């Protein structure tokens, strides 16, 4: 894979900007992380389209503009430690690793984590750690986190993740029933509790309990 040609790259970035991704540091990270590395087989030809695409284990790599909107909403600083729940292809984790000091990403499918790790190694992302597990419990031994992003839809923001967010921290999570359109929520943790704002309607696979069967 040689990456997108200049015209395709221009169209890719144009699609991001036109869907509201305007933060230059996020755009630069997305310009530098080749989505084509994270899409395998037949669908690799469509890697630079602004659409979700199938990956292993019946999961999806999210639409690039949604990845951009979620990453932008996190307002990551280079000092931050970030937890991503839902590694999937690893694409968003790689982008986060370009913006943050340290990134942990977790998925319930061992096969997805192993495939994502191959690309992380290729990109030499030494500040990124990937783990297999049920991310709805977070990673208490590595927390608390400055930022948390959940890339699967929960009925409510999971309690353990709210606990593992630092005061002053931000969590972005799609909330709603799995078969319906969900709402992307941003949670700010303050000294007095939590503030929530609704960002946009989205559609994500559900946040499931336990480990996945690798098919």
The answer to whether 71 contacts ligand SAM (rule: CB under 6 A) is no
Interacting positions 104-123 with ligand SAM (CB under 6 A): 106-109, 112
Closest separation in Å from C-beta 143 to ligand SAM? 15
With residue 131 as reference, give the H or E element that holds it. Answer: strand 128-132
Interacting positions 125-154 with ligand SAM (CB under 6 A): 134-136, 151-152
Q: Give, as one character, the DSSP assignment of residue 81.
A: E
Q: What length does the chain have?
A: 215
The answer to whether 88 contacts ligand SAM (rule: CB under 6 A) is yes
62 is catalytic: yes
How far apart, in whole angstroms, are the C-alpha atoms of residue 190 and residue 45?
Answer: 44
Which one of 25, 44, 56, 62 is the catalytic residue? 62
Strand order in the sheet with 81-85: 128-132, 102-107, 81-85, 145-150, 165-175, 182-190, 193-202
Q: Which is nearer to ligand SAM, 178 or 193 (CB)?
A: 178
C-beta atoms surrounding 64 within 10 Å: 25
The answer to whether 207 contacts ligand SAM (rule: CB under 6 A) is yes
Q: Furthest-apart CA pair in the chain: how many Å?
A: 50
The answer to whether 91 contacts ligand SAM (rule: CB under 6 A) is yes
How far apart, in whole angstroms, are the C-alpha atoms of residue 48 and residue 156?
Answer: 32
Q: Which is nearer to ligand SAM, 91 or 169 (CB)?
A: 91
Interacting positions 150-179 with ligand SAM (CB under 6 A): 151-152
Residues interacting with ligand SAM, by CB under 6 A?
59-62, 85-86, 88-89, 91-92, 106-109, 112, 134-136, 151-152, 204-205, 207-208, 212
- Annotated catalytic residues are 62
């Amino acid at each position: 894979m040689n990456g997108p040609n200049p015209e395709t790259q221009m169209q890719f970035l144009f699609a991001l900007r036109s869907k509201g991704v305007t933060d230059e540091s996020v755009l630069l990270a997305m310009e530098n992380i080749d989505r084509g590395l994270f899409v395998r087989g037949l669908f690799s030809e469509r890697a630079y389209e602004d659409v979700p695409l199938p990956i292993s284990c019946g999961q999806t790599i999210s639409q690039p503009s949604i990845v951009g909107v979620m990453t932008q909403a996190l307002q990551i600083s280079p000092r931050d430690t970030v937890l991503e729940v839902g590694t999937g292809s690893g694409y968003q984790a790689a982008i986060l690793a370009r913006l943050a000091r340290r990134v942990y990403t977790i998925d319930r499918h061992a096969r997805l984590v192993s495939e994502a790790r191959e690309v992380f190694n290729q990109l030499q992302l030494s500040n990124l750690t990937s783990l297999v597990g049920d991310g709805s419990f977070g990673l208490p031994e590595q927390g608390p986190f400055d930022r948390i992003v959940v890339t699967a839809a929960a009925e409510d923001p999971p309690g353990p993740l709210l606990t593992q967010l630092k005061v002053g921290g931000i969590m972005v999570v799609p909330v709603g029933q799995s078969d319906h359109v969900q709402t992307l929520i941003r949670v700010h943790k303050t000294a007095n509790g939590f503030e929530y704002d609704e960002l946009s309607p989205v559609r994500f696979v559900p946040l499931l309990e336990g480990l996945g069967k690798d098919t």
